[in-house]
Amino acid sequence: MERDTRPAVVVGAGPAGLCAAIELKRAGAPVLLMDENAKPGGQLFKQIHKFFGSQEHRAGVRGIEIGKDLLRESLDLGIDVRLDTEVVGLDPNLKVWAVEGRRRSYTLDASRVILATGATENAVPFPGWTLPGVMTAGCAQTLINVHRVLPGKRILMVGSGNVGVIVAYQLIQAGAEVAAVIEAAPALGGYGVHTAKVRRAGVPMLVRTTIVRAEGNEGVERAVISEVDGKFKPLAGTERTLDVDTICLAVGLTPSIELASLAGCRTFFVPELGGHMPLHDEFMRSSVPAVYVVGDIAGVEEASTAMEEGRLAGIHAAFSMGYLDSGEMERRTADTRRRLRALRQGVFGAKRFTAKERILAEKEKECP
């Protein structure tokens, strides 16, 4: 097979994109890795906690160190990493339009495009939500762990998924007090070990509870919360006021699919993985065969699954460009797929596994 010498373009240098670029480069394929941020690593450099998983998933290692290792590996391999470079356009013929440093604009023809654009945090509107001091949990995490700025002294966390409880823990570590973690559902969402370590630090966790409004003049001074009924409607007479100066929203993420839509990738609605997302097959190929989707854009999961999906796509793209034979591709992806399966087991993983199976089945049906 003749080798395709046009580069594979990886968009997004988070865990999924870094791993995809590393596998492409390892196979000898030309690759460009683009990221709109000044630093690569995506969310990894905010993750100061030890990761779950098995030893081969780097469990027990803090996310920030996994980020450093991936970065070192990509530099050692000599990957062309283009930072401050925003990919603003992509057409179905794989013409990539990039803007560098908000000054220079250029296009290039890619042989493959791997979209690792991640996800965007959801917000929930309520009276007072535009007051300074209301922010997403990811914003608070960036402030404390990247910029070393404490957003407030007393914090209300809205949402008890892993993001909410992990950021609550890190806010306490950074010196803040967390007044409560509230959850509208009847059960807490995050891993029990995460909620347990926050709870033992004295943080109340309130299920069937929502935020009603934020109050304050120049910024947040109070949060009014209330119990909810089975349909998430506030129950009259259950309102309580908490003295807080910061309200963090950890109410889910939505895949960032703009570029996939521009490229014409067919999407599918999967609520348990964050909403609309591009269909993909077992090698992370979208309905546009030369466009791959990996990490949170292909369904919101975790850094560990994002890294494996990135590897899967990178290996397959290198194969499809003629840099690996089918036996070598099968051998390398077999390990990756085995590790991905291991991450999607148990009470939390099973839901994601089933959702992913649905995406594969729909892809098979819609674009065989």
Partner 1 sequence: MPMSPDAPDASDRTLKTLGAPSLAELRAAGVVPSREELAAHPCVCVECIEEIPCNPCETSCPQGALTVGQPITNLPVLDRQKCTACGLCIPACPGLAVVIKSLEGDRAKIRFPWEYLPVPAKGDRVEMVDRLGNPVCGGTVVSVINPARNNRTAVVTAEFPAEYVDDVISMRRL
Size of the site for partner 1 (CB under 8 A): 43
**Closest approach of partner 1 to the CB of residue 20, in Å:** 22
Contact between 207 and partner 1 by CB under 8 A: the answer reads yes
Backbone angles phi, psi at 284, to 5 degrees: 70, 20
**DSSP string spanning 88-124?**
EEE-TT-EEEEEETTTEEEEEE-SEEEE---EEE---
Site map for partner 1, 49-78, x if CB under 8 A? xxxxxxx-x-xxxx----------------
By CB under 8 A, the residues from 158 to 197 that bind partner 1 are: 160, 172-173, 175, 181, 186-188, 191-197
Helices 15-26, 63-76: axis angle to 10 degrees equals: 30
Contact between 202 and partner 1 by CB under 8 A: the answer reads yes
Do the Cβ atoms of 244 and 154 come closer than 8 Å?
yes
Tokens of residue 101, six digits = 């440093």
Q: Burial-class residue 97 by CB neighbours within 10 Å (0-12, 13-18, 19+).
A: middle
Contact between 273 and partner 1 by CB under 8 A: the answer reads no
Q: Hey, which residues does 177 pair with through a beta bridge? A: 154
Do the Cβ atoms of 321 and 29 come closer than 8 Å?
yes
**Closest approach of partner 1 to the CB of residue 35, in Å:** 27
User: For residue 352, which amino acid is it?
Assistant: R
Site map for partner 1, 317-356, x if CB under 8 A? -------------------------xxxxxxxx-------
Query: Whose Cβ is closer to partner 1: residue 39's or residue 50's?
Result: 50
Query: Whose Cβ is closer to partner 1: residue 74's or residue 170's?
Result: 170
Residue from 198, 257, 265, 294 that binds partner 1 (CB under 8 A)?
198
Site map for partner 1, 106-145, x if CB under 8 A? ----------------------------------------
Residue from 203, 288, 293, 294 that binds partner 1 (CB under 8 A)?
203
Query: Whose Cβ is closer to partner 1: residue 6's or residue 50's?
Result: 50
Give the CA distances from residue 154 to residues 183, 199, 219, 223, 357, in Å, rounded to whole numbers and listed in that order: 18, 16, 13, 11, 42
Helix (H, G, I), strand (E, B) or coil at 278: strand
DSSP H or E segment with residue 366: helix 346-366
**Closest approach of partner 1 to the CB of residue 337, in Å:** 14
Tokens of residue 80, six digits = 């062309």
**Closest approach of partner 1 to the CB of residue 53, in Å:** 6
Contacts with partner 1 by CB under 8 A lie at 49-55, 57, 59-62, 160, 172-173, 175, 181, 186-188, 191-203, 205, 207, 342-349
